[in-house]
Structure 1
Amino acid sequence: MSQTPHPTGQLMKLGIAQAVLFVLGALLGRGLGLLLGLDAFGAAGYGNKEIFGILLIGLGGGGGVQLARAWYVRKYGDPKG
């Protein structure tokens, strides 16, 4: 059962949406970390606060990518088939 590939324009929308929401999610994670006192870039070394700040940035960026992917699948269907 082969599915016809998605048009390039649709896949471009997916890529752009993932890139934009990755950056926005990472910025939101950074902001949340700062509000909680978890500055990822604050100290000279890496303690627990810095590690958890980095974790929030990563979770925010990853969440943004997954949100973009879910939007694409809901609108156009799964590109993998």
Structure 2
Amino acid sequence: MTTPNPFMEGISDAVGFVGGALTGYWAGQWLGLNIFSAGYDNASIGGILLVGLGGGAGLHLARYWRSKQKAKDADTDAS
């Protein structure tokens, strides 16, 4: 059984979150939703929502990838 590497967990979480948030930001820009517009109009709120959802999805994807890597390493160690 291997011990978790906190550095790899932190880096993969950060890359997943930032990558997902950027993807959400770019999707919002493509849809015409500017998170930096003056005031909190519907377009701004929608863009902020996409950035938040993208960041959460990216973090979830990074943790899923890490669990698959851990399972693959466990299979390799068992053989």
What band does the TM-score fall into relative to the shorter chain?
0.7 to 0.9
Q: Can you list the C-alpha shifts for 1:11-63, whole angstroms capped at 9, x where unaligned?
A: 32121011011111111111110110111112x21011100100000011111
How far has the Cα of 1:5 moved from its partner?
A: 7.3
Please name the residue that 1:24 is paired with: 19
Equivalent pairs counted in the alignment come to: 71
Percentage identity across paired residues of the two chains: 49
> Structure 2-normalised TM-score?
0.79
Matched, 1:66 2:55: no
Question: TM-score of the superposition, structure 1-length normalised?
Answer: 0.78
Q: Which runs of 5+ in 1 are unaligned?
A: none
**Which structure 2 segments of 5+ residues have no match?**
72-79
1:45 counterpart residue number: 39
Query: Do residues 55 (structure 1) and 52 (structure 2) align?
Result: no
**Partner AA of 1:21 in structure 2:** G
Secondary structure in structure 2 of the residue aligned to 1:15:
helix
